[in-house]
Structure 1
Amino acid sequence: MGVKGLQYFMERCCPESCVTVDLREMVKQHVPKTSDNTSSPTLVVDGMACLRHWYLCKDWVCGGQWNEYMSILRRWVETFTSAGIRLVFFFDGVVEEKKRHEWVKRRRRVNGQVSKLFRYIKLHGEQPGKDLFTLPSGLATFTPFALRTLGQDVFCSVQEADYEIACYARRHGCMGILGQDSDFIIYDSVPYLSVAKLQLDRLTTVLYDRERLCRAIGLDVSQLPLLACLLGNDVVPEERMQAIRNSAWTAYRKPYDTAHSGAPQRQMVLAVSQFVSSLWGREEEERGLIPQTLKLTVADRQLLEKGICSYLLAGPEASQRDALPPITSTFEKRVSPEILKACVEKHVSAEGFMVYNVVCEGVIECSNSLEDEEDRELVPQAVVYKSCRQRIYGLLLLNRHDDSTVEPPAIREWFVYPGNPLKEPDMVLPIPICIACEQPSLDLLWFSSGPEVSALRLMSFLSIFDCQELAEMYGVVEDFLLAALCLVTYIALQVPSLCSEDVDAYLSQAVCLRLTSLQELQQIKLPFLSSRAVQLGSLYVRGLSYLLGANCASGCPLPTTALMPWQSFDGQLFHSKYLLAHSGTEQMVLLDNLPSSLAVFLQLREKHVEVCMKRNRVLQSRPRASLLDRSHSPRYRDGHTAGVDNWPDRGEASGGWRRGSRQCSDGNNRVKLQERPAHRGRGGGGQYSHPRFHPPSFDGSGQNLSSLSEHTRSGWRPSRGRYQLAPSLKLLEPRQPPLEWKMELSNIF
């Protein structure tokens, strides 16, 4: 990000421009430069640049330790607040098309890292080291909501976030910008402070001083934008200005400087700086952004001008609205002005998700998820959630009075998933929601009130996930559990290989999370990692973001807090429940031997099975792990152990999704899976053993996928493995559930 090599140059070759500062001293010395400056000195924080520095949790590969992450954010905010520093956070709200090529390059690079990560897990059964660290899926989506929960001012950008940060800081006379992007050196704004160099306990960091930099390289501050573009940045690709840099290198390089630390980069920056200085060497100052003496093709000159303009800030006198481009909608004829205004307001204040990007931009993107490109069984998340996205688009854009002969508008999707080269967006059409009455208008859902409208909002929300029957659970269980049940049911309907053990893991951890302390979550020790469980954890968290988008589109029938991952998901806890469920652990133990938790779990499980059966989706039992040595088992509440050891992940049996063979996400082509014999006594403490075989799975036409040849399955063939059986271990004397719960268990299975 930022200017290629500039920050490295300042740190290694121009150390006088990197000044260590004490933020508490800066507070004392800060003098407001504008009349509208708040009473407290303000730091504007680049939230996207801080994510890696905020996520300090030991576990990251299992889907995120979200409660621990919340506690880290709380401590971080409190440290600044106690020092008298007000924080204002900005997050990227859009990817500008002029930067799309850089976005794609980074996504491809991260894809390679994710592939290495999964190979490591399958080889070693543990989390890899920091060299393969990848942020948990959804961290950028949910962090703004987390900070709002902590009472902070949070903004989401409608154009380049760096630009909006620099404008805001300059306009409000802020104390500084805290981030990690060398573009902040180029903007003529407030001091740029490094979050990477931040020592939180002492509140010290490094200030990158643009004035000292300019003195060292012989340029004026106004010439920094041209220097940045010639060196290469997100707008002007490095390769486009290679010829100019070569000319500058030939003309201004100093051969005797080769022994200097960082010599090549130092020489390049100094050579290009001297070249830029020479362009304005005449007394008669040339007008325009680029001197005419710089020989460029028309296309390169236009690109360079665009890059330089991206650094020119609105003046301090400009209002926030003046600093932003006029808001227009790609589909303004399909929504009312009031809806358009609400979309913008919710987006800018970081209260909404998806609706602005769909209605105003007509484009949506999703960055890398933790998905194993070699897994031939689990469907990529972009495919799993395509059906619900289409219904969200339909609710937002399909007017009930639309002419059926008119082609519906298509949304451009830039989604990272295995097999997508990201050369162009996927064009995805909206589809209407299935609801008993006529599809309601957005104005009704968003602005009207009354019990009938509230019920309509809830039904619209559930219809997006094809789970209308779950309306009966509203008010019966807590909102976050209703959301979790909706998501798990949708996943089960869309992913043919999902089994009953997976559902048990999802639901049990959602039920147990509220009763598990942060200390207990941190103390969970896993005997090994399952690559499949890693992918399922990421799939769940990505699904929460679509619940959030659907909730916004439907007029918010559920409180936003109920859809946050720290309410219903913890990566370590889910992974432990996954290993337990697949080892055949009794449900009483799976629910931490708490009868109240088991009762809630059974209630959710029964409704889940009911909805699935109505759609001809019968979940199989497909245990994938063996219950072995108790001494290597994960630890849970009350210090007891319940566990799984050894690790069959190198050859987990997999079944059925074949890329390109059929559509698995259209919401209509359901897959009926062969039911296996129910386990005996799972709820009442009885013994049972795993079947030693796995029945074939079938696609929508009834074809046996497991019998297809390697050639027919193309790249999506399943891996093969063997499972060892082990005797059950008596882990802890369980509290026996009441008789009616045992009967309910037998009915479910």
Structure 2
Amino acid sequence: MRYYKGAAMGVKGLQWFIENVRPEVCVEVNLNEIAKRIRQEHPQRTPTIVVDAMSCLKYWYTADAWVHGGQWKEYIHSIESFIEAFTSVGIKLVFFFDGVVEQNKRTEWVRRRLENNREIDKIFQQIKTSGQQPAKEMFFIPSGLATFSRFALKSLGVETWCSLQEADYEIAKYGLLNNCMGILGQDSDYIIYDTAPYLSINKLQLISMTTVLYSRENLCRSLGLNKCDLPLLACILGNDIVSANSLQSLRKKCMALYQRKQNMLPQRSDTVLAVARYISECLCSSDRIKEMARLPISEEVRNLLERGIHSYLLPAQQSPWIISKKDNISDIPSCVMEICEDVLKIAREQHIKAEGFMVYNVLSVGEVECSNTLEDPNETELPGQAFVFREARQRIYTLLLSAQHDSSKSISEVKEWFVYPGNALQMPEMVNIIPLNLPEGLPDLKKLWVSEEPAMKNLRFTTFLALFDLHEFVEEISVLEPPVIGICCLLIYISRQVDSLSIEDIDAYLSQAICVRNKPLSHFSFTEVHYVDTRAVQLASLFIRGLTVLIAANTTCGFPFKMAYLMPWEIFDGIHFHSKYLKSHAGCSERDLLEENINWISQFHDLKVLILKACEKKGRIIQSKPRKPLAGKYSPGFRAQNRKRFRLAPRSQTIMKYKMSQSKTSKLCPSYNI
């Protein structure tokens, strides 16, 4: 996963240096013109750009609202527009997502997750202070955005891949081997690899189809280096493999030599210049390997430096700085358990094609991770999503680990790197499997995935329900529409797991899902809330993370449902949920929550009865517990007295014209929550 808060990934300080100190490296290009030239010179070749999809998430998420859980219909529309802009000028796009976190980068992954936690803490503090979404500079992508973006692209028919190793490497490799016209992303590692040209996603203007090309040749010319020297430069500066601290003493030596010659105070740009000059003047002899051996660093750091250089070498490439090219991480990770080869092969193929979720990571290395979620670190009543969905994950692990060959050597736990407040991520949590309640026992995983026997369709469905402990409700749930089945399973599960969940919360979840399913994109641009509730923010993130568990269960069970039915743009909208939450806790009637639509009210009632029945079956009685907003200027009373001072969105003006119910609860619905 990547850090999304604006800092470029890759080589420490290099992206800033290129953009602020060496403008000659930044060349504005017109992608349409480049594509035309390629077609003229090579009529049989389709101009292709390989895209670092993880770098695009912030570019694609253009909705103003982000803290409420995501504006998903707007998001997928943004991706559609992005793809159309390229296809209209004859450019093919190929997308890559990170599929693993390599062990030699786990430390950096942890550092960024903990840094994100601090940013999230500030976000919640700001919400509590102002009652509003924080300013744009605090933007944090909605939970689950990276996961669902894979399926969004797949649903739109574009070529999408999920990496088996570091995605940067696979992207650079694809760009080289397929003679791509460019790599679109925002990671300075792409200027280090000797591959296709590096194009900026941040500078991309879709209307004019222009962006900035970071010229590898111009960078080398300005620094007095050869292309083969760039990996060494990157490693001394610090990257994801060689931490900046590892070679701090060497950089200090470079700086001392550089400043002695410059005879001036150090500048921010001097580190890159100093290291480059040190390489070109002190190390670039006819025998670079001997020069590497003379570097004033320990043997351990030298080995790390060599590994860092190796990581930039693509197929058939060599480096004068190292004796030989070591193999990069194997395409198939070494298994921590003996899994049926056919099962692993199927899971691997699904993983590569971005068709499944989580399954291959469990089967191949027995390890999974989940990045940051918008969760309030000071929230005491709502457990983190890592805990809420652990039981479902444990059942998923049970089913997956049943594919082990030797029961005497079988492994019964999975390593989890899940980010939540209070978890220092010093080591993974070992999560055990738990029994799966199926009358016929655990199904054969390979048959569950590939068999076309008529009975398998039903078995996949019942197994899916068993993962959420809903095997007793097969008949009631099976008659529902597929998208509604996902909603129902998720809300029953959350209601059982979260003791503080109230009737008002269920009403908000359920009413927004029903309304979202039946509204066009154009409706949501008119929905606005004037008060942000931190609990609603966390409940929204909880629901979205729950959808990722649904798609993991769907993959594990051999796809009893089309993945499209479990996507958030089908059943969730952050602003809409927030509006329903505030209205529900203010005492609005079910009729108002369902916007007086008789059909929606009927469906809402049937699903709510089923959810409460399933909870009661487990001894969980859901209580009404309306919650008032924080006191102060964002309270209902203040807004009622100062209504003219607050701008109402067009959607709010429309809703306020609705005829209010004569019930007492309906009259309690204040205007602030619309």
Please say whether Structure 1 and Structure 2 have the same fold, judged by a TM-score greater than 0.5: yes
Corresponding position: 1:4 with 2:12: yes
Match of 2:494 among 491, 496, 503: 491
- Greater shift, 429-438 or 150-159, is seen at 429-438
**1:174-323 matched pairs, under 5 angstroms:** 174-253=180-259, 256=262, 258=264, 264-283=267-286, 285-287=287-289, 291-315=292-316
| 1:167–1:323 contact (8 Å) kept in structure 2 | no
CA distance in structure 1 between the partners assigned to 2:236 and 2:670 by the alignment: 69
Within-5 A mapping of 1:420-431: 420-431=423-434
Give the number of the structure whose residues are more often helix, by fraction.
2
Correspondence list, 1:96-135, <5 A: 96-135=102-141
Contact 2:586–2:668 at 8 Å: present in 1 too? no
What's the CA shift for 1:252? 2.3
Kindly tell me the number of residue pairs found equivalent between the two proteins.
642
Q: Do the aligned residues in 2 keep the contact of 1:279 with 1:294 (CA within 8 Å)?
A: no
CA deviation string 1:122-163 (max 9, x = no partner): 111110001211000000000011011111100000100000
Alignment of 1:729-748 (within 5 A): none
Corresponding residue SS for 1:239: coil
Distance 1:281 1:146 in 2: 48
Whether the 8 Å CA contact 2:382–2:498 is kept in 1: the answer is yes
Residues 386 and 165 (structure 1), Cα distance of their counterparts in 2 relative to 1, 3 Å cut:
same
Letter in 1 for 2:378: E
1:68 aligns with 2:74: yes
Is 1:381 aligned to residue 382 of structure 2? no
- Which of the numbers 613, 617, 621 marks the counterpart of 1:614? 617
Moved over 6 A (4+): 626-630, 632-635
The aligned runs of 1:646-661 (5 Å cut-off) are none
Structure 1 position 625 matched with structure 2 position 601: no
What is the correspondence of 1:401-550 to structure 2 with a 5 Å cutoff?
A: 403=407, 408-550=411-553
Runs of 5+ consecutive residues of structure 2 not aligned to the other structure: 1-8, 318-326, 630-635
Q: 1:687 — aligned with what?
A: 663
Residue 582 (structure 1) aligned with residue 597 (structure 2):
no
CA deviations 1:369-400 (Å, max 9, x no partner) are 00000111100110101101111110100359
Alignment partner of 1:27 out of 16, 22, 35: 35
Percent identity over the alignment is 44
- Rounded to whole Å, the distance in 2 between the matches of 1:642 and 1:484 is 30
Distance 2:57 2:507 in 1: 31
Cα deviation digits, residues 577-615 of structure 1 (max 9, x gap): 111111111111111111111111111111111111110
**Counterpart residue type for residue 668 of structure 2:** S
SS at match of 1:265: coil
What is the CA distance between 1:331 and its match in structure 2? 4.4
Residue 636 of structure 1: CA displacement? 5.1
SS of 2:293 mapped into structure 1: coil
Query: Over aligned residue pairs, what C-alpha RMSD do you find?
Result: 2.6
What secondary structure is seen at the aligned counterpart in 2 of 1:422? Answer: coil
Query: Which letter maps to 2:251?
Result: R
Q: Secondary structure at the match of 2:206?
A: coil
* Whole-angstrom CA distance in 1 between matches of 2:51 and 2:281: 36
The answer to whether the aligner puts 1:603 opposite 2:606 as a matched pair is yes
Quick check: 2:250–2:297 contact (8 Å CA) kept in 1?
A: no
Contact between 2:395 and 2:467, CA under 8 Å: does it hold in 1?
A: yes
Match among 26, 49, 52 for residue 18 of structure 1 = 26
- Report the Cα offset of residue 640 of structure 1: 2.1
More off after superposition, 539-548 vs 630-639: 630-639
Change beyond 3 A, Cα 1:363–1:19: same
3-state SS of the aligned residue for 1:89? strand
Instruction: Give the C-alpha shift of residue 451 in structure 1.
Output: 3.1
CA distance in 2, matches of 1:543, 1:14: 46
The one-character-per-residue Cα deviations of 1:622-677 (angstroms, maximum 9, x if unpaired) are: 0113876676788759922289xxxxxxxxxxxxxxxxxxxxxxxxxxxxxxxxxx
Q: Verify the 8 A CA contact 1:147 1:154 in the aligned structure 2.
A: yes
Query: In structure 2, how many angstroms separate the alpha carbons of the residues matched to 1:638 and 1:149?
Result: 35
Give the aligned partner of residue 728 of structure 1: 668
1:704-719 alignment runs, 5 A limit:
none
Instruction: Supply the AA of the counterpart residue of 1:488.
Output: L
Q: 1:49 aligns with which of 50, 55, 63?
A: 55
Please point out which of 551, 555, 562 is paired with 1:552.
Answer: 555
- Aligned AA (1:457): R
Residue 99 of structure 2 is matched in structure 1 by 93
Alpha-carbon spacing, 1:401–1:223, altered in 2? closer, same or farther (3 Å): closer
How much has 1:431 moved relative to structure 2?
A: 1.9
Q: Quick check: 1:27–1:85 contact (8 Å CA) kept in 2?
A: yes
* Residues 635, 167 of structure 1: alpha-carbon distance in 2 compared, 3 angstrom cutoff: same
Q: Distance in 2 between matches of 1:32 and 1:171?
A: 21
- Quote how far apart the aligned CAs of 1:408 are: 3.4
Shift of 1:357: 0.7
- Matching residue of 1:345: 349
In the alignment, is the contact (CA less than 8 A) between 1:87 and 1:153 conserved in 2? yes
Q: Distance in 1 between matches of 2:202 and 2:354?
A: 25
Deviation at 1:38, TM superposition (A): 7.0
**TM-score, normalised on structure 1?**
0.82
Shift in CA distance, 609/211, structure 1 to aligned 2, threshold 3 Å:
same
The verdict on how the C-alpha distance between 1:185 and 1:586 changes in structure 2, with shifts beyond 3 A counting, is same
Residue 39 (structure 1) shift: 3.5
1:145 and 2:151 correspond: yes
Secondary structure in 1 matching 2:592: helix
Superposed CA offset, 1:463-502 (max 9, x none): 1111223422455222111101100110011000001110
Contact 2:486 2:550 in 1 (8 A): yes
Alpha-carbon spacing, 1:458–1:23, altered in 2? closer, same or farther (3 Å): same
Q: Distance in 2 between matches of 1:418 and 1:729?
A: 34
Cα offset, 1:406, TM superposition: 6.0
Q: Distance in 2 between matches of 1:366 and 1:595?
A: 40
8 Å Cα contact 1:398-1:430 kept in structure 2: no
Distance, in Å, in 2 between the alignment partners of 1:67 and 1:305 is 46
Q: In structure 1, the residue corresponding to 2:152 is in which secondary structure?
A: helix
Shift of 1:7: 1.7
1:640 aligns with 2:646: no
Distance in 1, Cα, partners of 2:243 & 2:92:
36
Contact persistence 2:586–2:669 (CA under 8 A): no
Which of 386, 397, 402 pairs up with 2:401? Answer: 397
Q: How many Å separate the matches in 2 of 1:575 and 1:46? A: 32
Provide, for residues 172-206 of structure 1, a one-character-per-residue CA deviation record: whole Å limited to 9, x for no partner. Answer: 00000000000001000010001111111111111
Instruction: Structure 1 unaligned segments of length 5 or more: list them.
Output: 317-321, 644-683, 690-725, 732-749
Task: Report if the CA contact (8 A) 1:18-1:207 is conserved.
Answer: yes
Q: Are positions 1:363 and 2:364 aligned together?
A: no
Give the Cα–Cα distance (whole angstroms) in 2 for the partners of residues 730 and 139 of structure 1.
33
Contact 2:39 2:46 in 1 (8 A): no
Greater shift, 366-375 or 13-22, is seen at 13-22
In structure 2, relative to structure 1, the CA distance for the partners of 1:399 and 1:286 (3 Å cut) is closer
Indicate if the aligned counterparts of 2:486 and 2:566 stay in contact, CA closer than 8 A: yes
How much does 1:266 deviate?
A: 2.5
TM-score where L is the length of structure 2:
0.91
By how many angstroms is 1:338 displaced?
1.2
More displaced stretch, 163-172 vs 433-442: 433-442
Q: Alpha-carbon deviations, 1:523-561, whole Å to 9, x = none?
A: 112131111000000000000000000110011111111
